[in-house]
Structure 1
Amino acid sequence: AERSPEECQVLSESEDIVRELERRRKRRERLRRRQEEVCDEPEELKRKVTELAAAVRNAKHLVIYTGAGISTAASIPDYRGPNGIWTLLQKGRTIRAADLSEAEPTLTHMSIACLHKHNLVQHVVSQNCDGLHLRSGLPREAISELHGNMYIEVCTSCTPNREYVRVFDVTERTALHRHHTGRMCHKCGAQLRDTIVHFGEKGTLRQPLNWEAATEAASKADVILCLGSSLKVLKKYPRLWCMSKPPTRRPKLYIVNLQWTPKDDLAALKLHGRCDDVMRLLMAGLGLGVPRYDR
């Protein structure tokens, strides 16, 4: 109603441009909504966790996929949250450095280790490089760290590869396509390399990536629980989702995340809550105590 006849004339003569601008506006709005964090009401979250607890108890082979969202309670930033690394970089903001070696496993990390100890979780597949799953007491064979571990360096000249698990960050001198750490293998003298898989790289190390175990676990899974992952990277690994199976034979998917994920429509249940809050309720529902971390 506020447009002048001249403006209406211009718009009517430029239908293609108008259509394209409208498409871009809708896309921006859709992306904005997907970045918003949504929290379930407390009673709704409790109801959903009760349903999740039943799924965990009844699962024959439960696999957990974890992302950066399970470590935010340890003051480690995530990637796509409101204060995530990618979000801040897109806004032109600077990223503060943090000493991750001082970080301790969160309630979620300790809960996952406890669930594995009680045979309720068979395997954990993690995108995180922070080493907190290992610090929580989760056995090496029970975890696949798909993007490496910043506290592990290896000698690829030794057979099998010799591993060095450190209490300090081994990646200070490494970067994309530059993986030598500057230290030498005490056995053969060859240069050690980190285990990190950067964007644009393909992970080739057997450990700590442990792809073989991750693929085997996914093939056996009847339930997959995704904690704190946007799934924007994990969705690109079809082996983790049993996509070759008919839909009715794929594992049931449960997602815990405050934001939208590309797997939401396929989930049996989506819980909008913080990982520690959900896991605290879940452990209580299962009648299990959360062990304390002993450094």
Structure 2
Amino acid sequence: MAAGGLGRSERKAAERVRRLREEQQRERLRQVSRILRKAAAERSAEESRLLAESEDLVTELQGRRRRREGLKRRLQEVCDDPDELRRKVRELAAAVRNSKHLVVYTGAGISTAACIPDYRGPNGVWTLLQKGQSVSAADLSEAEPTLTHMSIARLHKQKLVQHVVSQNCDGLHLRSGLPRSAISELHGNMYIEVCTSCVPNREYVRVFDVTERTALHRHQTGRACHKCGTQLRDTIVHFGERGTLGQPLNWEAATEAASKADAILCLGSSLKVLKKYPRLWCMTKPPSRRPKLYIVNLQWTPKDDGAALKLHGRCDDVMGLLMQELGLEIPPYSRVL
């Protein structure tokens, strides 16, 4: 009993010592942090001595600050001044004219002009959720293709763009008149539901959002195939899921387009998801044989360092200037089919 009691006492004493050391370490960290926030000229001799004795803590705190500042810079929206943007657009126009196989990758940033929120911008869905703020559901059925959507459709019609790979589910590329064969909607289309029992899969293109009853790993829409009676499912690919539908995901065409591309134009995408798809970047090819990359985004992207050109501007502004430079009119959108 005595030996057992002594062991428990020793363990309790050791735990008290451990907690005391941790609290002392936290207090030292707070002290060093407060001192580092002061200008060097404002620090007392005692504070300077404490910093000299705490090299490891100083290095750790300075590293944390650099990471915070780097993250803050990446989230900031930067705009090129008008003259610089026009110069860059002229360079982009030359690349579009000279490209033999141009592929366009689009993200949520091309739809913000249609009042559809982007994902990682200052007021984007992900940004607001990270801050603990609520995100209102918008009725997208009334949204119309933006100047950027209509420009892309015209560029495809002129054979200047061969294929479009989109992360968006809003259906605006199809409404712009872009043919189904020319687009891969990697994360689905909220206006398309399918019967996976019919061969080939039977598609239903709706004028309403088919995802009202669906969610992660729950894709049945509540409607049935008129041919075989099987429950229809949506086409949306959520985070944590792997898309398997041929259409509208159209991975085969996206992969083929990427393999042929000599230039890729990224519009309004943070590229934080797209970068995870090596097939889209020809990573198996030597760097010199990979397509040249042109990026239009207000924020930092993980592909910036490898880009031939980065344009800091809003997609509609850049595409409007590009179409002027190419001498092409942007067709107006019409709801009349």
TM-score above 0.5: yes
The Cα of 1:129 is off from its aligned counterpart by 0.3
Task: Report the residue type matching 2:95 in the other structure.
Answer: A
Deviation beyond 4 Å, 4+ runs, structure 1: none
State the distance in 2 between where 1:96 and 1:291 align. Answer: 31
Matched, 1:159 2:223: no
**Map of 1:81 onto structure 2:** 121
| Structure with the larger helix share | 2
Matched, 1:178 2:218: yes
Matched, 1:32 2:72: yes
SS of structure 1 residue aligned to 2:298: coil
Matched, 1:214 2:254: yes
SS of structure 1 residue aligned to 2:42: coil
Find the partner of 1:260 among 286, 300, 320: 300
**Map of 2:12 onto structure 1:** none
**Would you say how many aligned residue pairs link Structure 1 and Structure 2?**
295
Identity of aligned residues (%): 84
State the distance in 1 between where 2:54 and 2:158 align. Answer: 65
State the distance in 2 between where 1:218 and 1:288 align. Answer: 25
State the distance in 2 between where 1:190 and 1:20 align. Answer: 59
Find the partner of 2:170 among 101, 126, 130: 130
Gap runs ≥5 in structure 2? 1-40
Alignment deviations for residues 237-261 of structure 1 (CA, whole Å, 9 cap, x no partner): 0100001111111101100001111
Counterparts in 2 of 1:35-54, with a 5 A limit? Answer: 35-54=75-94
**Map of 2:314 onto structure 1:** 274
Give the TM-score taking structure 1 as reference length: 0.98
The Cα of 1:177 is off from its aligned counterpart by 0.6
SS of structure 2 residue aligned to 1:273: coil
State the distance in 2 between where 1:50 and 1:15 align. Answer: 51
State the distance in 1 between where 2:132 and 2:258 align. Answer: 38
Counterparts in 2 of 1:194-209, with a 5 A limit? Answer: 194-209=234-249
Alignment deviations for residues 194-232 of structure 1 (CA, whole Å, 9 cap, x no partner): 100000111111110000000000000001000000101
Task: Identify the range of structure 1 (159-168 vs 84-93) with the bigger mean alpha-carbon deviation.
Answer: 84-93
Give the TM-score taking structure 2 as reference length: 0.86
Alignment deviations for residues 39-84 of structure 1 (CA, whole Å, 9 cap, x no partner): 1111111111111111101110000000000000000000111111
**Map of 1:119 onto structure 2:** 159
Find the partner of 1:107 among 143, 147, 151: 147
Task: Identify the range of structure 1 (17-26 vs 277-286) with the bigger mean alpha-carbon deviation.
Answer: 17-26
The Cα of 1:89 is off from its aligned counterpart by 1.4
Gap runs ≥5 in structure 1? none
SS of structure 2 residue aligned to 1:289: coil
The Cα of 1:6 is off from its aligned counterpart by 4.2
State the distance in 1 between where 2:233 and 2:137 align. Answer: 23
State the distance in 2 between where 1:78 and 1:222 align. Answer: 28
State the distance in 2 between where 1:225 and 1:61 align. Answer: 11
Name the larger-Rg structure: 2
